[in-house]
């Protein structure tokens, strides 16, 4: 699903965020990406989301050679990816249902299907009773579940999560990880970046450890 | 089609949410269109009046007191054969004095003090509307003809008025263009503010692979709506101003230019102004949206 060859990301000040990174993630796999702050976890996910371009090397995701994509192809590529961030990135002026149905809407899905799909994923994360609430009315755990529902509404082949439990307490963190496990059980590839070693131990999946932009351990 | 519907729905909601700053942009466009429309309104009315006055042009051939009837006949033949006149009238010395007494009754005492009639006989010629230029060469020939004291063909003030009108129109249009650019920049700034307020939403749209039509469309539509509303507001204000001017019109102005001669902008020009406003707004929105 994900294949990188000698991937490097160099910033202007001459600092390498990633250096010579070669790794692969199989289709249907659940992988943790861990390491201390500044190890390059978020940069790697940003490269996968094409929010940034690599300085050197090659990335192939789901058959897409990311360095060769046109703007239209980038749109097509991103439609196959779900993303979850530490700060949830929910739209404060929209209700829970609108936050989710907004994704199929801006992808041109017919109106009749938008709400049906949104309601399905909301039911799956157990928040179907909060459809008319606004993000400010929800707890951190609920907001993250809404963000996960939004990531899933487009039925992506790959879900990327950057510190999804960074703002949550340990119980809620495990609850969120269980959701990711369920997503993975349905055949979706999941990559979670976290520095929470305890959580990784509890979930128990393949873990790639980065430090100073290099892979230092695969366990 | 879905992108269009989505864009206008989001743009309408955004206009309402940011109604304070949107009103600012709408007023900016409105002022620019008001100046542009005002210049068009004034110049189109003056232009029409000038055309009417031009079409009603006439000249007078003043005869020397010793001009013979043969010389007068030759002049009239020259006028008739030129094809420039749609009519002519001979005004004798006595008729000219009678006109003076009638038109300037308050100067009757002056007229009665004349020891002899000082007014010359003349031939008044009404010029065909399509022959005002050809009339000038006829006037030159008549002025040189025997028995002629003078020929008056006062078109100079008309051409001066036309030149002045062109200058006013040029300055007005230049001012309007500057204001239009300023209005487009105001729209761009207001839309950019909206864009900033919705940056999370835009980021999410980009990350889910939303087409650009959905990402940029609402901002272009917002600019377009601001432009259209601004143009309609300007036309409304212009129309009210025009009605107020008509109500106030009269007195010495009414004698020179009858109220019925004044007209508001024709429908096609109003449509062009609204289209212009929407284009300016649209360009402002597009400029802002390109940075998304």
Taking an 8 Å cut-off on Cβ atoms, the answer to whether A91 and B2 are in contact is: no
Count of structural domains, chain B: 2
Contact indicator for A115, A189 with CB cutoff of 8 Å: no
Where residue B129 sits, what CATH number does that domain have? 3.30.70.3040
**What residues in B contact A136, CB-CB < 8 Å?**
none
- Residue B16 forms contact with A (CB below 8 Å): no
Residue where a domain stops, chosen among B126, B154, B182: B154
Residue where a domain stops, chosen among B134, B154, B174: B154
Nearest Cα to Cα of residue A66 among A50, A82, A83, A42: A50
Contact indicator for A105, A97 with CB cutoff of 8 Å: no
- List beta partners, residue B152: B60
- List beta partners, residue B63: B148
Q: What is the pLDDT of residue B232?
A: 93
- Residue B5 forms contact with A (CB below 8 Å): no
- Residue B263 forms contact with A (CB below 8 Å): no
**Mean pLDDT lowest among A54-63, B158-167, B169-178:** B158-167
Residues B164 and B282 in one domain: yes
Q: What is the pLDDT of residue B19?
A: 84
Residues B81 and B164 in one domain: no
Q: What is the pLDDT of residue B282?
A: 85
Q: What is the pLDDT of residue A30?
A: 92
Range of the domain at B67: 58-154
Residues B111 and B97 in one domain: yes
Residues B72 and B207 in one domain: no
Of A83, A89, A106, the CB nearest to B210: A106
Q: How near does any CA of chain B get to the CA of A202, in Å?
A: 30
- Higher per-residue confidence, B57 vs A60: A60
For B218, the closest chain A residue by CA position comes to A106
Residues B203 and B267 in one domain: yes
Mutate: best of B17, B209, B210, B214, partner A, most A CBs <10 A? B209
Residue where a domain stops, chosen among B99, B128, B154: B154
Is A210 strand, coil or helix?
strand
**B15-64 per-position pLDDT tens digit:** 888 788 888 888 888 888 888 888 888 888 887 777 777 666 788 899 99
Distance CA B166, CA B42 (A): 12
Residues B38 and B86 in one domain: no
pLDDT above 80: residue B258: no
- Residue B103 forms contact with A (CB below 8 Å): no
Residues B100 and B196 in one domain: no
Tokens 């542009």 belong to residue = B36
Residues B221 and B252 in one domain: yes
Q: What is the mean pLDDT of residues A92-117?
A: 85
Distance CA B180, CA B28 (A): 8
ipTM more than 0.85?
A: no
Tokens 């019109």 belong to residue = B249
DSSP string over chain B? -HHHHHHHHHHHHHHHHTHHHHHHHHHHHHHHHHHHHHHHHHHHHHHHHHHHHHHT-EEEEEEPTT--HHHHHHHHHHHHHHT-EEEEEEE-HHHHHHHHHHHTGGGHHHHHT-SS--PPPEEEEEEPGGGHHHHHHHHHHHHTSTTEEEEE---HHHHHHHHHHHHHHHHHHHHHHHHHHHHHHHHHHHHHHHHHHTHHHHHHHHHTT--HHHHHHHHHHHHHHHHHHHHHHHHHHHHHHHHHHHHH--HHHHHHS-GGG--PPPHHHHHHHHHHHHHHHHHHHHHHHTT-
Q: What is the pLDDT of residue B256?
A: 67
Of A74, A89, A103, the CB nearest to B203: A89
Residues B263 and B281 in one domain: yes
Taking an 8 Å cut-off on Cβ atoms, the answer to whether A108 and B214 are in contact is: yes
Taking an 8 Å cut-off on Cβ atoms, the answer to whether B208 and A93 are in contact is: no
Number of inter-chain CB pairs under 8 A, A vs B: 47
pLDDT above 90: residue A168: no
**What residues in B contact A102, CB-CB < 8 Å?**
201, 204
Task: Please state the pTM of the whole predicted model.
Answer: 0.67
């Amino acid at each position: 699903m994900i294949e990188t060859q000698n991937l490097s990301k160099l910033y202007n000040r001459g600092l390498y965020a990633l250096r010579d990174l070669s790794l692969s993630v199989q289709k249907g796999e659940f992988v943790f990406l861990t390491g201390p702050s500044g190890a390059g976890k978020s940069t790697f996910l940003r490269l996968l989301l094409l929010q940034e371009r690599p300085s050197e090397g090659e990335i192939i995701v789901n058959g897409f050679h990311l360095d060769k994509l046109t703007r239209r192809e980038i749109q097509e590529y991103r439609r196959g990816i779900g993303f979850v961030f530490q700060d949830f990135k929910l739209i404060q002026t929209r209700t829970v249902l609108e936050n989710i149905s907004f994704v199929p809407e801006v992808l041109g899905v017919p109106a009749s299907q938008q709400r049906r799909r949104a309601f399905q994923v909301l039911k799956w994360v157990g928040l179907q009773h909060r459809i008319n609430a606004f993000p400010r009315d929800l707890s951190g755990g609920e907001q993250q579940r809404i963000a996960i529902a939004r990531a899933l509404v487009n039925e992506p082949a790959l879900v990327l999560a950057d510190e999804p439990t960074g703002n949550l307490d340990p119980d809620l963190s495990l609850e969120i990880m269980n959701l990711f496990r369920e997503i993975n059980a349905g055949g979706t590839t999941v990559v979670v970046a976290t520095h929470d070693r305890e959580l990784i131990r509890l979930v128990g999946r393949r873990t790639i450890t980065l430090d100073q932009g290099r892979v230092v351990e695969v366990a | 089609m879905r992108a269009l519907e989505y864009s206008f729905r989001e743009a309408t909601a955004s206009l309402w949410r940011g109604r304070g700053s949107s009103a600012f942009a709408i007023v900016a466009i409105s002022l620019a269109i008001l100046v542009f429309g005002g210049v068009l309104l004034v110049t189109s009315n003056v232009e029409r009046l000038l055309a009417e006055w031009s079409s009603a042009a006439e000249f007078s051939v003043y005869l020397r007191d010793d001009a013979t009837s043969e010389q007068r006949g030759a002049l009239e033949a020259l006028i008739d054969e030129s094809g420039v006149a749609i009519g002519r009238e001979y005004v004798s010395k006595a008729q000219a004095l009678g006109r003076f007494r009638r038109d300037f009754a308050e100067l009757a005492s002056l007229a009665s003090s004349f020891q002899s009639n000082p007014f010359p006989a003349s031939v008044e010629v009404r010029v065909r509307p399509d022959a005002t230029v050809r009339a000038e060469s006829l006037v030159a020939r008549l002025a040189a003809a025997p028995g002629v004291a003078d020929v008056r063909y006062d078109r100079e003030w008309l051409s001066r008025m036309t030149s002045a009108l062109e200058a006013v129109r040029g300055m007005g249009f230049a001012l309007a263009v500057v204001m239009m650019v300023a209005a487009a920049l105001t729209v761009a700034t207001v839309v950019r503010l909206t864009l900033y307020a919705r940056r999370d939403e835009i980021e999410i749209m980009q990350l889910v692979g939303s087409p650009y039509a959905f990402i940029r469309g609402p901002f272009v539509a917002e600019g377009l709506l601001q432009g259209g509303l601004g143009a309609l507001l300007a036309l409304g204000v212009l129309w009210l101003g025009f009605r107020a001017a008509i109500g106030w019109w009269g007195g010495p102005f009414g004698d020179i230019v009858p109220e019925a001669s004044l007209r508001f902008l024709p429908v096609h020009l109003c449509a062009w102004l609204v289209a212009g406003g929407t284009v300016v707004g649209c360009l402002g929105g597009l400029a802002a949206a390109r940075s998304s």
